[in-house]
Amino acid sequence: MLAGLIAKCEFCTYIKGKKKKADEYYLWNVEPNVNQNSSQFMQELISRLLFFNEALVVEVGGQLIIAEDFTQNEYAVYPNSFTGVTRGTLKFDKTFYMPDVLYFKLNNQDIRALLSQLMDGYSDLLNMAVGKYKRAGGRKGVAKIDRTNGGDKKFQEQLKNLFNHKFKAYFEAENAVVDLPKGIEYQEITGEGSKKSTSEVKDISDITKEAMSRTAQAFRMPPALLQGDIADMEKVVDELLTVCVDPLVDLIQTEINRKRYGKTAFLAGTYLRVDTTCIKHIDIFSIANQADKLISDSIYNVDEIREKIGDAPLNTWWSKQYVRTKNYEALADSPPAKTGGENDETD
């Protein structure tokens, strides 16, 4: 779910403070390599990051390749190196260094290891609940055997066949009759104790829900979203974006900016930013008033609003202009000049 959401985001590229679409934009939003489109690439990257707690991307011939296996050699004051980097059947016969790769690490401690221990406990509880459910609905009875025939070998064979085969078919069939040998009486136990109750089903449901809730919390996701609850969906999505998606996106864009752009370019306004507003579905009729307000406040122009809602920009002189309603007209073109007073401190 998280990988799919982040794959929807637009990787916006800026050159000297202005949004531009060039090679870097195409690389992250359309085709990072010849075998994957941007959506497939990002879903794999996020999945590996969440599952293995780290992910490595190397650039080869202008293509971004996600490593399936690698070994990191850590140093104190020198750049870490990566050896044994593999992708599919290809093993790169070279050493990659930290400044030349994109290395993403999610947490200091591996979430998967913690979850694995926790889920083992839930698995045991779930098996117990399933066993309780099966026992509650099982058929039970009492067999009375005439002990006077205990030493008869033929009777022993009949008894063995009865319990191992006939009763098995009898219990598994929806409707059945069993032929009892002479000297054996069978009485079915009926009553409330032999019926399934809603408590056994609820136990299984509660344990499953609890396990899903703990998993969601481990990845900072709202449990309600993972469980499919739709109450207060807008608030749930906002929480997901703030607590879960934004930190992941910040991790990705920060690593890209420091490795592929660098300090000088970044400070000059040339950088990459991941736009997470693409995650929410936008109904143009429901946001008409808000869109008008954004334009009238000079926050966005017409083309920028059209891009936000998924429409193509008009690319005209007027659609690129920033306009502002007369209600927000400046009081003056410049600050009023100081008048009166013999010194500045008293003005």
For strands 271-275 and 10-15, give the pairing.
antiparallel
The pair of structure tokens assigned to 82 is 């990566």
pLDDT at position 347: 44
Looking at residue 309, its amino acid is I
pLDDT at position 101: 96
Residue where a domain terminates, one of 276, 293, 311: 276
Same domain, 107 and 234: yes
pLDDT at position 312: 77
3-state secondary structure of 65: strand
- Give the total number of structural domains in the chain: 3
pLDDT at position 288: 83
The rounded distance, in Å, linking the Cα atoms of 138 and 140 is 6
Tens-place pLDDT, residues 79-130? 999 999 999 999 999 999 999 999 999 887 777 777 777 788 878 888 887 7
pLDDT at position 330: 67
What's the Cα-to-Cα distance from 223 to each of 2, 13, 121, 213, 245, rounded to whole Å? 13, 34, 19, 5, 14
Whether 62 is in a domain gets the answer: yes
Tens-place pLDDT, residues 245-269? 999 999 999 999 999 999 999 999 9
Whether 253 is in a domain gets the answer: yes
List Cβ neighbours of 37 (8 Å cut-off, separation of 6 or more): 30, 31
3-state secondary structure of 96: strand
Residue 37 has pLDDT above 90, yes or no: yes
Residue 328 has pLDDT above 60, yes or no: yes
Whether 302 is in a domain gets the answer: yes
Same domain, 183 and 229: no
Whether 344 is in a domain gets the answer: no
Same domain, 305 and 254: no
Tens-place pLDDT, residues 141-156? 788 877 666 567 887 7
- Summarize the confidence of residues 14-37 as an average pLDDT: 94
Whether 165 is in a domain gets the answer: yes
pLDDT at position 271: 94
What percent of the chain lies above the pLDDT cut of 90? Answer: 35
Same domain, 172 and 315: no
Same domain, 101 and 184: no
Mean pLDDT of the chain: 84
The pair of structure tokens assigned to 189 is 């136990």
More confident residue, 181 or 80: 80
- Summarize the confidence of residues 160-184 as an average pLDDT: 79
Q: Which among 122, 57, 40 has a CA at the least distance from the CA of 92?
A: 57
Tell me which range, 99-103, 134-138, 192-196, is most confidently predicted by mean pLDDT: 99-103
The rounded distance, in Å, linking the Cα atoms of 236 and 254 is 26
Report the alpha-carbon angle 205-207-213, nearest 5: 100
Whether 343 is in a domain gets the answer: no
Whether 340 is in a domain gets the answer: no
The pair of structure tokens assigned to 185 is 């009486």
Same domain, 307 and 190: no
Residue 334 has pLDDT above 70, yes or no: no
Tens-place pLDDT, residues 196-252? 566 777 787 888 888 888 888 888 888 888 877 777 778 888 888 888 999 999 999
Whether 338 is in a domain gets the answer: no
Q: How many CB atoms lie within 10 A of CB 234?
A: 8
- Summarize the confidence of residues 52-80 as an average pLDDT: 94
Tens-place pLDDT, residues 281-290? 777 777 788 8
pLDDT at position 335: 60
Looking at residue 73, its amino acid is N
Same domain, 98 and 233: yes
List Cβ neighbours of 93 (8 Å cut-off, separation of 6 or more): none
Residue where a domain terminates, one of 255, 276, 297: 276
The rounded distance, in Å, linking the Cα atoms of 211 and 203 is 12
Same domain, 108 and 128: no
The rounded distance, in Å, linking the Cα atoms of 33 and 229 is 37
Same domain, 261 and 176: no
Domain of residue 287, residue span:
282-328
Task: Name the CA dihedral angle for 293, 296, 297, 298, rounded to a multiple of 10 degrees.
Answer: 130
More confident residue, 313 or 336: 313
Residue where a domain terminates, one of 157, 177, 205: 205
The rounded distance, in Å, linking the Cα atoms of 8 and 42 is 9
Same domain, 227 and 106: yes
pLDDT at position 192: 53
- pTM (predicted TM-score): 0.69
Write down the H helix ranges in the chain. Answer: 2-7, 23-29, 38-52, 111-137, 153-161, 167-172, 198-218, 223-226, 233-239, 246-256, 262-267, 288-296, 302-308
